[in-house]
Amino acid sequence: MSLVAFLWRAAVALIAVGIFVPARLGTLGSRPHPAATYADGATRMLRRELADDSVVAPGGRSLFLTHGARTPRVVVLFHGFTNAPSQFRLFAEQLYADGDNVYVPRLPDHGEIGGDADSLAHLTAEELRDCADSAVDAAAGVGDSVIVVGFSTGGTLAAWIAQHRSDVRRAVIIAPALELANMPSVFDIPLVNLSLLAPNVTHHAPRDSTAPDQEPGFSSHAVAEMLRLGLAVEDAASHEQPRAGSMVFLLNPNDHTVKAGAAYDLAQHWSDEGAAVQVYQLPDSMHLPHDVVDVREPAGRTAAVYPVFMALTRGVAPPSWVSNQSARLGIPRDINQTPRGP
């Protein structure tokens, strides 16, 4: 065998091994530094807003809606991949009108002026972790009970928080992007590692002039890092109890973007550890798209779905047309099994 042939075989073997080795999941634990006072927490959020002003497109700025003092509840809302805080603006305003302080942080590299899918290529799971940690840290100062709500990639951040942060009372996890739909779970680790080893591939989509804060398309590296955070949550849940007070999943059976089975598996792991978990499902008959949050999504039917978000955020049962799937996991169906109150 020639030296060149040997080196090629060695390279192929190393790549094959690397593809199936979990991708640096041990680096994705929490590093909490919670604010002790309202002034501290509010200052952190306001600094984030001001820092965003120099780089974001209209609608891309982090949002802090405050009553000027500590409130019984503070709700942190995490938006989805390629979107921006404006995705949650209307729901944030409803929570604020109901008495909450509300924080909607901009995810790293999102919502930037002139941004597109290429802008996301440098996103890392560590940045997403830091975004989640810092948001909860700031929120700890401005509300007695910290509640997090996340959708899609933001749902993965909410799940990560539920796993790692004991200072969060409730995590509402909406269609989390733990795994991609139509992709067998056995390929998740190979997909993540191969995507990170290979050069980034960007898919561009036409820009919507009415949504300058969105990055149409996707970056393979960014998707892989998003999934790496999901794998880290699943790995931690397999051998550690979640630390949040309670967790509620809201899933969409018509979702063709993320895999509901991964959310059920995570809920099962948490339930098996004795955690307070509930799983709800929107009706398939509504034919909802993946994005059930953004009022700019014409098929999203936010007028019907937002009351569901509100109920779950408050820790009460949603409207009766939302099905409770907890029994299929052997979880008590009564939402009152989860901690109540602010």
User: Could you report the per-residue pLDDT of 131-164, keeping only the tens digit for each?
Assistant: 999 999 999 999 999 999 999 999 999 999 999 9
Q: What is the pLDDT of residue 10?
A: 46
The β-bridge relationship of strands 277-281 and 323-324 is: antiparallel
Residue 298 has pLDDT above 80, yes or no: yes
**How far is 65 from 92, CA to CA, in rounded Å?**
8
Report the mean per-residue pLDDT for the chain: 86
Model confidence at 169, pLDDT cuts 50, 70, 90, reads: very high
The domains of the chain are located at: 3-318
Q: What is the pLDDT of residue 118?
A: 76
- Nearest CA-CA partner of 95 in 124, 119, 126, 64: 64
- Nearest CA-CA partner of 263 in 219, 166, 218, 329: 329
Q: What is the pLDDT of residue 239?
A: 87
**How far is 239 from 27, CA to CA, in rounded Å?**
16
Q: What is the pLDDT of residue 104?
A: 98
Residue 128 has pLDDT above 60, yes or no: yes
Token pair for 1: 């065998």
Q: What is the pLDDT of residue 88?
A: 97
Return the CATH fold of 3-318: Rossmann fold (3.40.50)
Model confidence at 176, pLDDT cuts 50, 70, 90, reads: very high
Give the mean pLDDT of 260-277.
92
